[in-house]
Structure 1
Amino acid sequence: NVMIIIFAIAMILMTFDKVRQIGVSMLASAGIAGIILGFAAQRSLATLIAGIQIAITQPIRIDDVVIVENEWGRIEEITLTYVVVNIWDQRRLIVPITYFIETPFQNWTRTTAELLGTVFIYADYRLPINALRDELERIVADSPLWDKRLAKVQVTNATDKTMGIRALVSAENSSNAWELRCLVREKLIAFLQRNFPDSLPRVRLETNKTIDKKTRHEIN
């Protein structure tokens, strides 16, 4: 209504030569103001629509575990304009509601809280893999963090110096999965140090044992 009134007054003033410039200025101001209001209304409308869409489709819910902006946290509060994410170190990340409509993010508890955790270890080629498999089974069997779904050891990489070994374990939620990963990593490293110290990563230097007399003389 205000914009209509300003426009009407500007048109009336433009009919008089002496105040025509005032009418032109009012029209210009009204146009700029209309553009500004249009942009503001568009953003507000987009935010409102995003809030309604979140409420209907529910890509996130209270207490969901999410990865947002490379931060692990839980959804603590959802409003029509913003979402509060409780980060693992007790910081609070305030995210516009439109973020969860326009930007890809990870929801670790969308359908179930169960997760698989991975532990990577690099060892020398002399390490017997079956011994490591047996040790992993003993570790998870003694831990209440394991949900008894999966525990396996696989060689996933091989370089000129070491082989990459992955231990895959399961847990009923992300917190248990993190704790179990740390436990398995610590126990497997201790197992290697205690039973197979020669299988820890190392750099080999080999020399030719046969040296002729001339070379030996030059070395001396």
Structure 2
Amino acid sequence: MAPTYRLPINKAIEIALTIIFALILVRTINVFEDYFYLKYDLNKENNLKERKIRTQLQFVRKFIVSLIILVTIAIILLSFESMRKIGAGLLTGVGIGGIIIGFAAQKSLGNLLAGFQIAFTQPIRIDDVLIVEGEWGKVEEITLTYVVVNIWDQRRLILPITYFIEKPFQNWTRVSADLLGTVFLYLDYTIPVEPMRQELTRLLNENPLWDKRVNVVQVTDSTKDGTIEVRFLMSASNSSRAFDLRCYVREAMIAFIQTNYPESLPKKRLEHWDKPAGL
């Protein structure tokens, strides 16, 4: 074959082999990721360990894949003589160029470092339940630069990864998925407390959402408008169950009071004084 054709063909084969090798590395990483996803399944009651491993695995996989792509592009570009000359010229100005690039990439480097911090110190994990920006949701994805929170109504809240390093937020599943749920009712002073305790116990025993840890009824406050604050405290194995259990208890207790103690529902009192005779 003539050198005119042989050199371009050799270069094309070299580039193709480089790309294929990079693709094999990426596919191998994906196979390992799938293996660990099957081994550490999130569909468990207490999945704290699985969430820890998946969070680290997802971040490390994305970082390594990005690194493979960058190295592959660099190898392909440097295989051309003209690009090697440009690279040698850039090295002579590496001092000033490095400062300029450092300032330009400051935000990206900050995101990358924040990603490493989140992956290994884990203030948040995959499938964690958060209250962030006034919204309740679960961590759906953690990338190198942002975090996706799946909100309860199926919207997606996208936040920069540095948000979880710099700003406060609530993590309901940081240590365990177990949660306490509360229901507050404001009732008249005439309401008897003991029947409500018995009714709450009956409701919880009949409901599979209750994890049988906490069952409490307390009068926690009295208000200026003539009512008392009654708190119903219960427990559940995760946040979704706790929310459903709270709604169930609230509805059932209101129905119980309406049926058995309607006179104890909140009311406004008005006292009327008759004028003494002769005035």
Structure 1 and Structure 2 fold alike (TM over 0.5): yes
Task: Tell me which amino acid in the other structure corresponds to 1:175.
Answer: S
Moved over 3 A (4+): 1-5
Residue of structure 2 in register with 1:14 after alignment: none
Q: What is the alpha-carbon distance in structure 1 between the residues aligned to residue 141 and residue 273 of structure 2?
A: 68
Report SS of the residue matched to 2:105: helix
Residue of structure 2 in register with 1:205 after alignment: 270
Task: Tell me which amino acid in the other structure corresponds to 2:270.
Answer: L
Aligned residue among 223, 240, 259 for 1:194? 259
Q: What is the alpha-carbon distance in structure 1 between the residues aligned to residue 170 and residue 152 of structure 2?
A: 15
Q: What is the alpha-carbon distance in structure 2 between the residues aligned to residue 137 and residue 40 of structure 1?
A: 62
| TM-score normalised by length of structure 1 | 0.79
Structure (1/2) with the larger helix percentage: 2
Residue of structure 2 in register with 1:11 after alignment: none
Confirm or deny that 1:68 pairs with 2:132: yes
Residue of structure 2 in register with 1:130 after alignment: 194
Q: Percent identity?
A: 61
Report SS of the residue matched to 1:154: strand
Task: Give structure 1 stretches of 5+ with no counterpart.
Answer: 8-29, 216-220
Q: What is the alpha-carbon distance in structure 1 between the residues aligned to residue 162 and residue 272 of structure 2?
A: 64
Confirm or deny that 1:162 pairs with 2:215: no
1:34-183 alignment runs, 5 A limit: 34=100, 38-160=102-224, 161-183=226-248
The structural deviation recorded for 1:38 is 4.7
Q: What is the alpha-carbon distance in structure 2 between the residues aligned to residue 40 and residue 105 of structure 1?
A: 29
The structural deviation recorded for 1:71 is 0.9
Judged with a 3 Å threshold, the aligned counterparts in structure 2 of structure 1 residues 3 and 197 are, in CA distance, closer, same or farther, namely farther
Q: What is the alpha-carbon distance in structure 2 between the residues aligned to residue 114 and residue 129 of structure 1?
A: 27
The structural deviation recorded for 1:93 is 1.0
The structural deviation recorded for 1:3 is 9.9
Residue of structure 1 in register with 2:50 after alignment: none
Q: What is the alpha-carbon distance in structure 1 between the residues aligned to residue 123 and residue 249 of structure 2?
A: 32
Judged with a 3 Å threshold, the aligned counterparts in structure 2 of structure 1 residues 3 and 195 are, in CA distance, closer, same or farther, namely farther
The structural deviation recorded for 1:4 is 4.0
Report SS of the residue matched to 2:211: coil
The structural deviation recorded for 1:48 is 1.0
Judged with a 3 Å threshold, the aligned counterparts in structure 2 of structure 1 residues 3 and 182 are, in CA distance, closer, same or farther, namely farther
Task: Tell me which amino acid in the other structure corresponds to 1:127.
Answer: I
| TM-score normalised by length of structure 2 | 0.63
Task: Tell me which amino acid in the other structure corresponds to 1:114.
Answer: D
Q: What is the alpha-carbon distance in structure 1 between the residues aligned to residue 92 and residue 233 of structure 2?
A: 65
Task: Tell me which amino acid in the other structure corresponds to 1:66.
Answer: L
Q: What is the alpha-carbon distance in structure 2 between the residues aligned to residue 159 and residue 55 of structure 1?
A: 46
Judged with a 3 Å threshold, the aligned counterparts in structure 2 of structure 1 residues 172 and 208 are, in CA distance, closer, same or farther, namely same
CA RMSD in angstroms, aligned pairs only? 2.0
Confirm or deny that 1:214 pairs with 2:278: yes
Deviations 1:65-115 (A, max 9, x none): 111111111111111111111111111111111111111111111211000
Report SS of the residue matched to 1:214: coil
**Number of equivalenced pairs:** 187
